[in-house]
Amino acid sequence: MAGPLRIAVLWLLVVVSALAVAFVSHQCREMYGQLAALERQANQLDLDYGKYLLEQSAWGSLQRIETKAASSLRMRSPQPDEILMIKRQ
């Protein structure tokens, strides 16, 4: 009786092992899909960040600020005779 019982237990363990392998393989494929999606999202965020840095650079350029100050606020650079030098003692 011990022989057939051992074979039945071994068959049960083989079936459980096969189911475990199938389950883990499925989980691995799902997680790999999630990883790929997150990597695509990270690449898109890096691309957007680069665009925002370029935009920030353009909006904060000295030439643009000077042009905006001259057109909107009617500012201008002072003439040499309008500059006062103050010396600290």
What does the pLDDT look like over 23-58, one tens digit per residue? Answer: 999 999 999 999 999 999 999 999 999 999 999 888
**What would the two tokens of residue 70 be?**
């001259």
pLDDT at 1 over 70: no
Mean pLDDT, the chain, whole residue set: 92
**What would the two tokens of residue 23 be?**
């389950």
Provide the phi-psi class of 3: left if phi over 0, else alpha when psi is between -120 and 50, else beta. Answer: alpha
DSSP H stretches of helix in 1-89: 2-59, 62-72
**What would the two tokens of residue 66 be?**
């000077």
pLDDT at 5 over 70: yes
pLDDT above 90: percentage of residues in the chain: 60
